[in-house]
C-alpha cells in the first residue's frame, strides 16, 4: 500500500500497516519508532528521491543538455551522500537510546536481497549507477 509520510503514523497506530520503508532520518523525525521499534540493518539506499520529467519534455531537451543534466544530478547526489549517511547513523543512534532494536540480517538473506534489488533496479534504470545496492 502506498502511503504518504503523514499517513504512516496513523496506519501504524491503527494496525493498517505493520511495516514500511523510509530512511532512518525520516523515522526519527516523525517518531515512527515509538510504534514500530524494530528495524533491520539493511542499507536500502543512502538517499531516496528523484526528479520526474515526462518523456515528452525529456525528449524535447537536446541530447547535450540531457547529458549535462544527468551529470549534474550525479554530482549533487555524490556531494550529499556522506552527509545523508552521517545523518542516518545519528538518527539510528538516537532511536536506539529510545528503544529501537536493530536486527542484523543473515549474510545469505542479505545477498539474496541484493540480487533481487539489482534485478529490479536493472529493469528500469542503468544498473551501473546503483553500485551501492
Q: What is the pLDDT of residue 83?
A: 87
pLDDT digits (tens, 9 = 90+) for 29-60: 999 999 999 999 987 765 566 778 899 999 99
Q: What is the CATH number of the domain that holds 74?
A: 3.40.190.170
Tell me the pLDDT band of 125, cut-offs 50, 70 and 90: low
Mean pLDDT of the chain: 85
Assess contact for 17 and 9: CB atoms under 8 A: no
Q: What is the pLDDT of residue 120?
A: 74
Tell me the pLDDT band of 128, cut-offs 50, 70 and 90: low
* Residue given cell 525528449 in the structure block: 59
Q: Is the pTM of this model over 0.85?
A: no
Domain count for the chain, please give it.
1
Cell of residue 81, nine digits: 551522500
Question: How are beta strands 38-40 and 101-103 bridged, if at all?
Answer: parallel
Percent of the chain residues topping a pLDDT of 90: 55
Q: What is the pLDDT of residue 119?
A: 80
Q: What is the pLDDT of residue 5?
A: 83
CA distance 69 to 75: 10
Residue 103 has pLDDT above 70, yes or no: yes
Q: What range does the domain containing 72 cover?
A: 5-130
Q: What is the pLDDT of residue 132?
A: 46
Amino acid at each position: 500500500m502506498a502511503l504518504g509520510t503523514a499517513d504512516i503514523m496513523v496506519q501504524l497506530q491503527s494496525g493498517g500497516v505493520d511495516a514500511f520503508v523510509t530512511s532512518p532520518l525520516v523515522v526519527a523525525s516523525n517518531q515512527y519508532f515509538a510504534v514500530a521499534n524494530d528495524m533491520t540493518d539493511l542499507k536500502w539506499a543512502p538517499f531516496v528521491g528523484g526528479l520526474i520529467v515526462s518523456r515528452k519534455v525529456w525528449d524535447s531537451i537536446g541530447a547535450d543538455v540531457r547529458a549535462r543534466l544527468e551529470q549534474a544530478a550525479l554530482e549533487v547526489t555524490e556531494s550529499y551522500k556522506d552527509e545523508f549517511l552521517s545523518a542516518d547513523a545519528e538518527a539510528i543512534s538516537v532511536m536506539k537510546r529510545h528503544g529501537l532494536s536493530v536486527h542484523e540480517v543473515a549474510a545469505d538473506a542479505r545477498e539474496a536481497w541484493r540480487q533481487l534489488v539489482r534485478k529490479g533496479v536493472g529493469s528500469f534504470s542503468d544498473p551501473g549507477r546503483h553500485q551501492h545496492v
